Amino acid sequence: MKHLVTAFIVISIITASSLSIAKAQVNVNINIGAQPLWGPTGYDVVEYYYLPDLQMYYYVPSHQFIYLNGGNWLFASSLPARYRSYNLYSGYKVVINEPKPYLHYATHKAKYGKYKGAKGKQVVIRDSKDPKYLVVKGHPGNAKGHYKQSGGDNSGGDKGGNKGGNKGHGQKQGGGKGKKG
């Protein structure tokens, strides 16, 4: 009887952990529709972009720029005044999927500094003809999946096409590049 109870407990634990693992594998977060038009293509999940040219971050879920000001990290819905003429469409973006990456700012600044000034090296969502990006607000493609060329909304960027072959540079920690589709 003692062995039967022990076996039952072991089987219950294994079953419960198997269900938890299966649930975790099925619950995949895809946030393509939340990404900005100026974000690089190739990522199904993006939490933050690090912008090497500006040495700041962009938090995709809340659509906020995160930058240092007087030793404090500030969150703002638009670029600081000194960067308002910066072209977000052509500037390089590094995808970082880790909580509060700005706490590792010195590491990111050193690691991704090589991308500073790498303009036009990424294809951005606005310029992609991939149907999965049609869900992004303001994308020039229409609801039927046909791509139509138009000037579109250009808040912060140029209207020229950025036709670089690089799909972006992601950090693998915490999910990194996400599922490519």
User: What's the average model confidence in pLDDT over 27-53?
Assistant: 88
Where are the domains positioned within the chain?
A: 32-175
* 164 pLDDT more than 60: no
pTM of the predicted model, to two decimals?
0.65
Whether residue 123 contacts residue 162, with contact meaning beta carbons closer than 8 Å, is answered with yes
**Mean pLDDT for the chain overall:** 76
Cα 20 to Cα 23: distance, rounded to the nearest angstrom: 5
- Residue 15 banded pLDDT, cuts 50, 70, 90: low
More confident residue, 138 or 13: 138
- How many residues are recorded in the chain? 181
